[in-house]
Structures are given as structure tokens and as C-alpha cells.
Chain A
Amino acid sequence: MSITQILFWTLSIVALFSALMMITSKNPVYSVLWLIVTFFCISGHYILLNAQFLAIVNIIVYAGAIMVLFLFVIMLMNLGKDTEPQKSKWLKLASAVSGGCLLLVLIAVLRKTETHMADLTSGEIGLIQNLGKVLFNQYVVPFEISSILFLSAMVGAVVIGKKE
């Protein structure tokens, strides 16, 4: 096992574990924290895949900004451990079983895909320079269009947030 493989497995297991912890934690704050762990693991994977730009953005945007926003909201609402009523057991079981089945099915289907990636860390595309080039050459239209999205989200937040 090479070092990348060890890293891969470690990150994967941690990511899955923290994801599971996220959905099972009673306390929402813990959930947020576990999710942040997951995001860090994913960022680790990005680095492993030589996608440094995304790794950084992921940490800044997701783990940094978005999750803090979440935390902030949770704090704002002062949600404790006991605030969340539990779903019925059967419903939970059904949900878990159906989710598990979905996983099984998808894995059973996709396990036949076999492409070997020999050299994980090589390649320059994940660098900010290369991505920037592509973004502002080929993807300039979607980039501009995403501004519409942001504008609308902004207007939306104003509409929702403004007191009447």
C-alpha cells in the first residue's frame, strides 16, 4: 500500500464515519461539527486528487462560510439536544432500509466500472491558474449567468427577511 492509498482509505473512513455521526447526533451543533469534519475529509480527497483550488474553496466556502452560517442559525434559534422530536421507529427503519437498498443497488450497478487512475497526484488542471483560464474563456457565459442566480437569491433573501 502506497502512502496515497493509505491516505485515501483513512480519509474515506473518517468521512463516512463523521457523515454517519452527523446524521445520528442528537444535538444539532454536534451534527454541524461532524459535517465540518466530513467536509475536511473531502477537501483532503481533493488534495489527493491534485485539485488544490477546489480543496481551498471547499474549506473556505463550505466548512468556513456555509457551516458557520448554519451554526449561527442554530445558535440563534437556541436549539438544544431535546428540541427535536423523534420520528417513529418504523419510519426510521424504513428510511434506513430503503437508503441501504439504494446504496446496494447503486453499488451493484456501478461496480462494473473499471478505470484505473495510475497517477493520482499528477496533472495541473486543479491549479487555480488553469481553472481560471478555462473559467474565463469557455465558461464565461455560465459565470455571468450565475450572477443572475445570486441577484435573485439576494432579492429573495431581502423579500423573506424584510420585516413587514
Chain B
Amino acid sequence: MNKLIALIPLLPFIGFLINGLGRKYLSKGLIGIIGCGTVLVSFIISLMIFFNGSYSTTPIHYFNFIQAGTLKIPFAFQIDQLSTLFLLIITGVGFLIHVYSTSYMHEEKREHFGRYFSYLNLFVFSMLLLVMGANYVIMFIGWEGVGLCSYLLIGYWFKNTNYNNAANKAFIMNRIGDLGFLLAVFWLFAKLGTANYTEVFANVGKLSSSDIIGITILLFVGATGKSAQIPLYTWLPDAMAGPTPVSALIHAATMVTAGIYMIARSNALYSAAPLTQNIVAIIGAATALLAATIALKQNDIKKVLAYSTVSQLGYMFLALGTGAYVAAVFHVMTHAFFKALLFLGSGSVIHAMSGEQDIRFMGGLKNKLKITYWTFLIGCIAIAGIPPFSGFFSKDAILLSAFEHNKFLYAIGLITAALTAFYMFRLLFITFYGGFRGDEEQRHHVHESPAAMTVPLVILAVFSIIGGFVGVPEVFTHGGEKLAAFLSPVVPSATHHIEHSTEILLMSLTTGIAIIAILIAWMRYRTYKEEKYTAFGKVLENKWYVDELYDTLVSKPINKLGGIANNYFEKLGIDALVNGVGKLVTYGGRQLRWLQSGLVGNYLLLMVLSMLLFFVLEFFLKR
């Protein structure tokens, strides 16, 4: 089995190599088959693991990555329940998106097509490494690897400078987080001498509380980068510059959930640091609300989805912060389904609209893109949290935990839920209802996507509907939540102390609010009207001016500092100092020449004077 496990990441890697090196020589079909096939096989192996139950918390050791003195970092995988779950999500959703891509990217040139698939495969490889690693270093390798792939894919259309800027931004913001991650790892090494999960979690007790708080906060900094939380979230909406399947896979379903995975994985540490947990919860809730408000006013179909993703990720952090690790993981899973679905659906729309992304120029697509519409609707319902769609269960678990933890956070969660329902349906209505607002050419072109795109949509839609049943809460089933039970060896499930009646009340409240929001959206956006500009609306449309804020507070000062350092400190300071010594010597040479007046009398006088000085020194000063 170990060899098979090794194959899981290795296959996409091989796919990456073949597609990458052979992109000029292979046909598009072959590239697609290799790209999808490798991920499919990985998925199958993951399924085998899952069904065989061949997971355990004992790491599988392959070789020593680094061994120097006391520093030992094995290259090892840990295939336990948590990683198995993620394996399934990554390879499963990943496979679907690969399939989808073969069609979506079909118009690309062959070598770029190959490049695309090689990046995608590399991403899957990195992501698998991230979740399979048995220590933080391997996780970090995957962590940065996915960041790289994200960078490469966002900048996939490299001729466009804006896209490249977005790619750079994504990578750099991720890097800021990565620094936190790295420092946490060093901290672990400094205190425990190891970064292996098993050893770290077994020795949490040996860490002082300040150590734990430090480590967990730093890890969380890493998570805010990768999972787009305040203050490092701004890269994610920009990342929509990449091809839509990439947004679906990387910026919705998998990569951005790495932060959640990491914290869930480190639950032993976080549970020991209540302070950090509170921070995580507050940041999560704040992000959820902030992103949701921004999403209200966005007109780019992918931007809305992107902010929605940020908001949902905020939910997950809220869950993590309140100790509901399972709920967070659960939401990761359901979110992967419906958000991938929504993105792919939007891709289908964009595909149909020949690349148009602005929803103000869409409308009335309901009848023309039937499959897309229905699947998109399912996705919207799921994300809005209407029972019994998957989003309901996972979101409810989170809200429940928040309620238990802190009423204020719960309130924010609730508001966010309402906003979520509202903006998602706003999107749906504007896009699919009303009259067609595109130009004539687009009107002719509009058509339903081919099967390679619609089949994944349908599959994902199915999972969006039924995906929630793995985590039906105790209220409805006997024997508790299946998912929690499954994960319990790795992730402790939160114990609820809430009356079942209260729980049901809360559920109804959530659902009710969501439905009201949907109705408001229905009334407002059923037929498209130009939105009126209000001051607040403008703030929202401009994303609370956070990008501008960062620009003024961080980018520009640093750039300015660089300019000052370069133009003044370096050239007029240090360099001038060094050159000044040289100039001083030359100047001294020029001045000292005047001593050499050419007149014997002066020479002799100087000689006599110095003799005099020497005599005085010798006979009077020295004694």
C-alpha cells in the first residue's frame, strides 16, 4: 500500500513532467488524457485507501529530506483520516475540473494547452504533498508549491500585464503568510527539535504557553495568507485573472482551504491556546462579513464568487476559532462541491458569452443554458444554506458552534449568511433572468457547453445536494455525525451542550433569514435595473478601498524607502563615504604638494623646524 500511496502525488508529478516537456509534441487529446488520467488514478488510489481503511496516524517514512546534526526532517507521509478526506476532495474535484478544462481550454494553442495541464498537474501534486506530509516541512513544501502553481496559473495569459500583476500579488501576499508559517516551524524546531506531527502533538505539554501562542499565531498568519483572511485576503479576488477552472480548483475548492487543513491538523496546538483561538474566530468572522458586504456590489461574475469564497473561508476560520474543527473541515468539503460547481458554472456562462464576465451584460440565460442554469441554481441554494442541501449542514454546524462560543460572533455569522444568500441570488437573477443584454454577436454565439463541461457540473451538483448528509447533526440522526466519528482519531469533535430544541430553533432562524434574503433578491433583481449609486454602495463596490489603503500604507512607503535607500543612502551615503576616502587621499595629495615649494630655503626651514620639534619632544615632553 505504501507504494501506492507514493503514487498518489507522484502520478500528477509525472503528468506534469510529460505535459510540460512534451507540450510541443503531444496532441491536445493526449495531453488531456495524461492530465486527467493521472489525477483519476490518484483519485482511485485515494478511494482504495478510503475503502480499505488503510489509513493510520503512523507516518510512512521514505527518506531523510534533511539531516544535519540534531535537525532531522524525514520525507514522510501521514495518511490518516483527515488527509484521506482531503485526498478525496483534491483528487475528486481536481479530476472533474481537469475534465472540464479539456473542453474549456480547447481553443488554446497546443503548447499552451500542454503548459496549462502541466501546471494543473503540478498543482495537484503540490496540494497532495501539502496534505500528505507527515511534518510541517513537507506541508510547507506543498504549501509554497501550491502558491507557485497559483502564481503560474493566474499569470497563465502572460501577455497581459494586469494578470501578471495579479499573479505577483497573489504570490507575494502568500509569501507574507509563509514567513509566519516558517517562523512557527523554526519555533517548533527550537523548542521541540522536531516538526513531525506525531511528535509535536505528543509534546504540546512541554511548550510554555507563550511558545504555544507564538507558534499558533504564526501558523495562523500563514493560514491568513493562503486562505485569504484579513489582512491578507486581497489577492484572492484579483486571482480571478486566471482561467476559470483554475479559480474553481485552486481559488475555491482546494488551495485556499489549506489554511483550514493546517489549523485542523494542528488542533492539538490550537486547543492549548485559547487566545489564538479567539483571534482566529474574530478574524474569521470579520473576514466573512467584510467579504460578504463587498460581494454585494460586484458586477464581475467571478469577483462575486471570489468574495463569496473569502467569506466562506471566514466561516471556516470562525469554526476553527470556536473549536469546531470538524465543522470547518465539513464546510471545506461542502464548499469544495458547491463553490467548484458555481465557478465551473460561471465558466460555462463566460464560455457561452465569449469571454464576457460582467453580469450587467448578461441576463436571460436561463433558457439558453439549461444545464448550467439548473446546476448553478443548486449551487446557489447550497451556499445559501437551504436544507437539505449540503451547505446547510456545514454552515449550521459552524453557526451552532459560534452560538455556543460567543453570541456576537454568531450574530455576525448570521448576518453573513443572510448576505450570502442575497448576493448569490442577486448574481443568479441578474445573470439568468430578465432579458439578454449582450450584443448581437454574443446572442448568436450563446450555446450550451459541451458534455466535457456539463458532466462535471452535474456531478458536482449532485454532490452539492447530497454532500451534506455525511455530517447530518445529532438532532436528526442517531449515532451522531458520521464525519465527526470518522475524523475523531485525528480531529476531536466538539461537544455540544445545547438543547436540541434550541438547536432546531437556530436552524430555522438561519434558514428563514436565508429565504427572506433570497426573496428580497428576487424582488429586486428579477428584472435587471441599473443600480443606483449610493455613497455606501460605492465604498462597497470599491471593496472598502482596502487595496488603496494597502497601497498607501505598505507598497508605496516600501517603494519610496527603496528609492531613498537607493538614491540617497546608497549613493550619497555609503558610496560617497567610500569614494570620499579616495577623494580625501587625492585632495591630500594635491594639498601636500604645496609643501614641495621648490625652494631650498623653505625645505631647510621645514627640516630645522621638525628637528626642533623632535628635540622638544625627546627632551621635554617625553620626560
**Residues of chain A whose beta carbon lies under 8 Å from any beta carbon of chain B:** 87, 91, 94-95, 98-99, 101-102, 105-106, 108-109
**Which one of B43-51, B187-195, B268-276, B609-617 is at the interface?**
B609-617
9 residue pairs, one from A and one from B, having the closest CB atoms: A105-B615, A109-B619, A98-B608, A102-B612, A98-B609, A101-B612, A95-B605, A98-B612, A105-B616
- Please state if B612 and A94 are interface contacts (CB–CB under 8 Å): no
Q: Within the complex, which residue of B608, B615, B619 is in contact with A99, where a contact is CB–CB below 8 Å?
A: B608
- Looking across the interface, which residue of chain B has its beta carbon closest to that of A101? B612
A-B contacts, 12 listed (Cβ < 8 Å): A87-B601, A91-B601, A91-B605, A95-B605, A98-B605, A98-B608, A102-B608, A102-B611, A105-B619, A106-B615, A108-B619, A109-B615
Interface string of B597-623 (1 = CB under 8 A from A): 000011001001101100110010000
C-alpha gap A99/B601 in the complex (Å): 13
Q: Which chain B residue lies CB-closest to A92?
A: B601
B619 — nearest CB in chain A belongs to which residue?
A: A109
> How far apart sit A40 and B611, CA to CA, in the bound complex (Å)?
30
> Which residues of the partner chain B approach A98 to less than 8 Å between Cβ atoms?
605, 608-609, 612
Rounded to whole Å, the gap between the CB of A87 and the closest CB of chain B is 7
Further 14 A-B residue pairs, CB within 8 A, beyond A91-B601, A98-B605, A109-B619:
A91-B602, A91-B605, A94-B605, A98-B608, A98-B609, A98-B612, A102-B608, A102-B611, A102-B615, A105-B612, A105-B615, A105-B616, A105-B619, A109-B615
Beta-carbon nearest neighbor of B605 in chain A = A95
* B614 nearest in chain A by CB position: A105
Alpha-carbon separation in the docked complex, A94 to B608 (Å): 11
CB distance from A6 to the nearest CB of B (A): 33
Instruction: Tell me which of B612, B616, B619 has the highest count of chain A C-beta atoms within 10 A of its own C-beta.
Output: B612
A109 CB contacts on chain B under 8 angstroms = 615, 619
Rounded to whole angstroms, the CA-CA distance of A101 and B602 in the bound complex is 17
Contacts of A105 in B (CB 8 A): 612, 615-616, 619
- Given the complex of chains A and B, what is the CA–CA distance between A95 and B605 in angstroms? 6
**Cβ contacts under 8 Å, B605 to chain A:** 91, 94-95, 98
A102 to B613, CA, bound (A): 9
CB of B596 to closest CB in A, whole Å: 17
Specify which chain B residues have a CB less than 8 angstroms from the CB of A106 in the assembled complex: 615
Q: Please name all residues of chain B whose beta carbon is closer than 8 Å to the beta carbon of A101 when the two chains form the complex.
A: 612
Instruction: For B619, list chain A residues within 8 Å (CB).
Output: 105, 108-109
Question: A112 to chain B: closest CB distance in Å?
Answer: 11
Residues of chain A within 8 A (CB-CB) of B609 are 98
A87 to B615, CA, bound (A): 27
**CA of A121 to CA of B619, assembled, Å:** 34
Distance from A49 Cβ to chain B, minimum over Cβ atoms (Å): 28
